[in-house]
Structure 1
Amino acid sequence: MEKRLIEEINLLENKKLLMNLNITAVIMVFVLLILGCVFSGEFEILIGFQGIAWVCLGYLVALVIHEGVHGVFFKVFQPKGKVKFGFKKGMAYATSSGSFYTKLQFFVVSIAPFVVLTALLIFLRFLGVNEVVLYLIFALHTSGCVGDFYYCILLMNHPAGILVEDTEKGINFYSKG
């Protein structure tokens, strides 16, 4: 099957795009923190050293799980594809460079970590884990998903029937034929 490149998204080398995504992430975390303060009478931003340590540890674990979920879904949809994990330009990433996915498959790959981690945090709340710590991890993780949300928006704005190639720098969109 012949593929024709429609658009190349070079996330790692596009300084303007990276800056805009980082600004969006910072705004997102502040909005979520403000909403947490407004809608919870007992919400306190200053949760002490121990709480901050738990938030940092929780966020690091969430980051590892986040990238692991990307990796799992890359493999689910392309079992022969090789998954690589790394850290570049201040961003952790999972990639299956050179693998092709349908629009729906790549949407699932992109949004799955947000869905899985949010569900896990809700589950932990029901187990009695401190809701302030969980909410702060949620706010940090959600803001960290901004690149994934960006990919989802791009996917929604492309026609059905496209193929998406994962690359080490971003993604490429192809038309079939």
Structure 2
Amino acid sequence: MERKLIEEINLLESKKLIINLNIVAIVIVLVLTVLGLAFSGGFEIANGFEGVIWLCLGYLLSLVIHEGVHGIFFKAFHPEGKVKFGFKNGMAYATSPGSFYTKSQFFIISIAPFIVLTGLFIFLRFLGVNEAVIYLIFALHTSGCVGDFYYCILLLNRPTGILVEDTEKGINFYSEG
């Protein structure tokens, strides 16, 4: 069967898209922080500067885990595909260039890091890790998922039966037939 290109999404090089996603990310982190402050009665990062260091290290670790989860799901759905990791335009990314996925597979690939890390943050909170540090890392991580959420929205608005090609710049949508 021949694949017909429907649309190309260039997430890494479209300045307008990057600006819009960054605006949404800023709104997400601000809203989540305000909600966290409102419902917790205020945050206190234990141990001052040391707590801030833990916050920064935790956030960097969450980025690595986030991209690793994408990589795991890329491989799970397309074992012969090569997975590459990188950082461009202020965004960390995982990609499996030239690999094709069904709509549902790519939705799972896109949303999995948010679900896995949110579960991890909840688990760490129950272990007694500082609430402020965990919540602020959660807020930062959630805002960093904005590109993944964008892909999920795009996928929800596409017909069943499409194929998604992962590229080094974004994704392409194809119809078969």
- Shorter-chain TM range is over 0.9
Q: Identify the residue that residue 55 of structure 2 maps to in structure 1.
A: 55
CA offsets 1:69-115 (integer angstroms, 9 cap, x no match): 00000000000000001111111110000000000000000000000
Cα contact 1:37–1:44 (8 A) shared by 2: no
Q: Which amino acid aligns with 1:68?
A: G
1:68 positional shift = 0.1
Cα contact 2:45–2:130 (8 A) shared by 1: no
Q: Identify the residue that residue 156 of structure 2 maps to in structure 1.
A: 156
Map of 1:1-177 to 2, 5 A cutoff? 1-44=1-44, 48-177=48-177
Cα contact 2:95–2:167 (8 A) shared by 1: yes
1:9 positional shift = 0.2
Cα contact 1:83–1:94 (8 A) shared by 2: yes
CA offsets 1:6-29 (integer angstroms, 9 cap, x no match): 000011111100000001001110
Instruction: Structure 2 unaligned segments of length 5 or more: list them.
Output: none
User: How far apart are the structure 1 equivalents of 2:43 and 2:8?
Assistant: 43
Which one is further off, 90-99 or 35-44?
A: 35-44
User: How far apart are the structure 1 equivalents of 2:47 and 2:28?
Assistant: 21
* TM-score, scaled to structure 1: 0.97
Cα contact 2:71–2:94 (8 A) shared by 1: yes
Matched residue of 2:94: which SS?
Answer: strand
CA offsets 1:28-59 (integer angstroms, 9 cap, x no match): 10000000011112424797211111110000
Cα contact 2:45–2:52 (8 A) shared by 1: no
CA offsets 1:129-170 (integer angstroms, 9 cap, x no match): 111110000000000000000000000000000000000000
* TM-score, scaled to structure 2: 0.97
Q: Which amino acid aligns with 1:76?
A: A
Q: Which amino acid aligns with 1:16?
A: K
Q: Which amino acid aligns with 1:4?
A: K
Percent identity reads 77
User: How far apart are the structure 2 equivalents of 1:16 and 1:41?
Assistant: 37
